[in-house]
Structure 1
């Protein structure tokens, strides 16, 4: 992923916490579970709902989802890239220059990083718990690939989906790329934040509806693409969890509150209120924070990401007691829950990122600690509540 002659000596977090040899490409940390991982994408079109954002007026809402799953056999099935070429091109423009200015401005081929998942490999025909993943505002689903792969290797089917119109870029079949088109900044406009969360919640329910079609033996892909063998037989929709980062964490928590199909949720540092016109100031609490919830919820944060809005909405949620728990990753900040936890140290070692920018993005925590820690906390939470 790095176009540079610098020798990359960063720890790449291979299973067991080892340190990778020097390399000239950025690598995602390998999954640690016993299963090899298969992957496919789904193009989903909601014929009963119009898209709410100004670049898609009058068009049906459409999503892209990536499904990671325990594979039966991966031989002869190619390894998937982290990003498609079209998405990578827009990511290099939008995310690097706007959403994440800490990232290298040059020297990076965002299309070059490979995953550990094999495209179209047949699934193990054993019913598995299903996990949904919702990314942070502006972030594409692809920047939380490593955690999804690890959960799939541990025996989950993970369905990661974008929220087009408020995601930096989403590539659809045929090479069509849709970029972010929010009418205002949701951090300073509570009406836009509310519309964004409402849209995300509707997206979540729609994805679950389409997974029910898949589990019954149907094909939910809008283009009728051939799906991996046994994929539908791998879904156990009696056991569903959801996790998300930032606004995706908000979505996971409130999604569980509103949809009884979701049995457990992990909020990776997402607000639980609607905010105000003043960034970081508390606003109206979401229903889950006002009323509590009767299913397991994990609030997983960092010690480097704090404001009044975060503190007050999480305190309100925790005040209900019950089945809500709180954990914290120290020496870390907001994007330690994404693939940047492993990437940023490699950029720094290659001379493409300063130490200050690395710390601002993911914290000072070493990737050999952060990646296994986050994987362990999230994986053990779902093991405890969905393995039955």
Structure 2
């Protein structure tokens, strides 16, 4: 297990590497059936309730570089719903994913509570599976998570974007994600040590190909009738930020790109921005100097998340705030993940910044 911790920590950090009123309200106000706190994600702030569909995609023309066979990816599609009356909210993780994540959490981020301390399967989203979509064609945003993360850790930002009238597609990248449940079964990370340059390049190239597969298939998805395929944006965190910039280059379908603290020095010549670009980083990330060097000379809008650390862009913000309020993580663990500032304020800034950028560029 030590080798997985080393790998996943390197992957997560090195490859980037109405809101709750206070951080304390992110904490449990109840106890999960198995003991421990019930953690809460912040409600989206837009005028629309959020529908949700989970969809698999298979690319028979591409071989999965990690396990062989046709490449599979998993999507969560969020959208403004016409009504959610009588429908249950979806959990953030399936039962199988929750069990796997409970074991990985303290290995990915030392200081997070271990198995049995938190019922990760009890964390609910604000998405309602199968809700009828609101009529009309809407901009489409496609999200790639950070290295080692599953798509579900981008739920809070995605729900807010959807509640303001976008269709948001969260993409999992099986093989480097800690866990993802596919129709063929549960996949966990296949990496067993710090990735060498060739492995890291395979990981990034695989993510780029996954994103292009999704772009190719948007028009075939069940929710295609409410998608405006003339208004597509990509956004990603950490390794996902790296991937979306490269995936968008030269693709006329993509109108704007938001990079949430992803390095762009993997292939500088191919990372040039040829469309509107948001470059958003946190103040306290240990890789800040490398981030800035890799972004040097790129045109685009710059934004800084003050008093925040790398994972404040993700659901770790409210989740770690809840764990801290419940006494399950130390101040040092919180600071190393999401920073010294209020993670709720940080999340509000991310929502405003990303939402406003895509509103200006895509309408």
Same fold (TM over 0.5): yes
In structure 1, the gaps of 5 or more residues are 1-13, 220-230, 275-283
Shift of 1:343: 1.2
Shift of 1:97: 3.0
Equivalent of 2:329, from 353, 362, 365? 353
Equivalent of 2:230, from 224, 238, 243? 238
Residues 302 and 330 in structure 1, CA contact (< 8 A), matched pair in contact too: yes
Shift of 1:380: 0.4
State the alpha-carbon separation in 2 of the partners of residues 16 and 64 from structure 1: 29
Q: Say whether residues 1:364 and 2:356 are aligned partners.
A: no
Name the SS for the 1:80 alignment partner: coil
TM-score scaled by length of structure 1: 0.83
State the alpha-carbon separation in 2 of the partners of residues 164 and 232 from structure 1: 24
- The match for 1:137 is 147
Residues 39 and 123 in structure 2, CA contact (< 8 A), matched pair in contact too: yes
**1:254-265 equivalence runs, <5 A:** 254-265=246-257
- The match for 2:276 is 296
Q: Say whether residues 1:376 and 2:352 are aligned partners.
A: yes
- The match for 2:51 is 38
Corresponding pairs, count: 335
**1:321-340 equivalence runs, <5 A:** 321=299, 324-340=300-316
Residues 140 and 168 in structure 1, CA contact (< 8 A), matched pair in contact too: yes
State the alpha-carbon separation in 2 of the partners of residues 36 and 125 from structure 1: 13
- The match for 1:119 is 129
- Cα-to-partner distance string for 1:217-261 (whole Å, 9 max, x where unaligned): xx5xxxxxxxxxxx2211111000011110001011111114221
- The match for 1:66 is 76
Equivalent of 2:29, from 23, 26, 31? 23
Cα 1:382–1:110 shift into 2, 3 Å: same
Q: Say whether residues 1:287 and 2:263 are aligned partners.
A: no
State the alpha-carbon separation in 2 of the partners of residues 259 and 42 from structure 1: 24
Residues 161 and 168 in structure 2, CA contact (< 8 A), matched pair in contact too: yes
Equivalent of 1:97, from 106, 123, 129? 106
Q: Which moved more, 1:112-121 or 1:252-261?
A: 252-261
Shift of 1:17: 3.6
Cα 1:320–1:352 shift into 2, 3 Å: closer
- Cα-to-partner distance string for 1:253-301 (whole Å, 9 max, x where unaligned): 1111142211101111011022xxxxxxxxx52512xxx3231111100
Shift of 1:309: 2.9
Equivalent of 1:314, from 295, 298, 315? 295
- The match for 2:220 is 213
State the alpha-carbon separation in 2 of the partners of residues 166 and 333 from structure 1: 22
Q: Say whether residues 1:151 and 2:161 are aligned partners.
A: yes
State the alpha-carbon separation in 2 of the partners of residues 29 and 117 from structure 1: 12
Name the SS for the 2:308 alignment partner: coil
Shift of 1:311: 2.7
Residues 28 and 39 in structure 2, CA contact (< 8 A), matched pair in contact too: no
Q: Which has the larger radius of gyration?
A: 1
Shift of 1:16: 7.2
TM-score scaled by length of structure 2: 0.88
